Structure 1
């Protein structure tokens, strides 16, 4: 009686190593997906930073009426890697602030665009 032949390492129809080949093929796709998710996280964090910095700066500007304090308050919560630009000024009875941050590519410092955060606060002036 003849035993059936088993497929082994020498058989060209063998699927040994198939998992390794599929793993090597999918690793770049997985890494690309992780990088895309990380980029989305950084963009969302940049929006959050810009909005918070604009709020803090508008409050400081409305209370003190000083563009220097406004800019300092905005940059207090943002690292220099985000390349912040702050525009402060009065617009009628509102103190308006615009904070612009660079949109990072995988890490802050390497940018491909900008994100703006704007805020306004009512001026606090003493009644005469």
Structure 2
């Protein structure tokens, strides 16, 4: 009896695919983590801008800085008193690991400033 040519390759594609699945999943997880870090930077920058605008006119800096950090995203807002006619606000947003709300690692920080227009200044 003669053996057919190529019959020894049966299932080779399935084995190769099964071997590549973990690598594909790891690559997707790393790409997703990069997206989350980028989004955390975007949130921190926006929150810092809004907090600086609110602080510059004597508004509630903390509330403005955390307004868009709802749900699973968390962060801190630092609103020091005005100095030399300027307000500077720093917002730190916790960067999640794979999914917001499941914990995270060191946060990303954004800083924004504005000219102080609160009480005691000439407009």
In the TM superposition, 1:10-89 aligns within 5 A as: 14-64=8-58, 66=59, 69-89=60-80
**Cα separation, 1, equivalents of 2:83 and 2:99:** 35
The count of residues paired between Structure 1 and Structure 2 equals 119
**Cα separation, 2, equivalents of 1:4 and 1:81:** 65
**Structure 1 gaps, min length 5:** none
CA offset at residue 83 of structure 1?
2.0
Query: Aligned with 1:81: secondary structure?
Result: coil
**Cα separation, 1, equivalents of 2:89 and 2:122:** 24
Give the structure with higher Rg (CA): 1
Q: Provide the TM-score with structure 2 as the length reference.
A: 0.88
**Structure 2 gaps, min length 5:** none
Question: Deviation per CA, 1:36-70, whole angstroms, max 9, x where unpaired?
Answer: 00000000000010011000000000012x4xx11
Query: What's the counterpart of residue 6 of structure 1?
Result: 4
Q: Provide the TM-score with structure 1 as the length reference.
A: 0.84
**Cα separation, 1, equivalents of 2:47 and 2:6:** 65
**Cα separation, 1, equivalents of 2:86 and 2:68:** 22
Aligned-CA RMSD value: 1.9
User: After TM superposition, which residue ranges in structure 1, 4 or more long, deviate above 6 angstroms?
Assistant: none
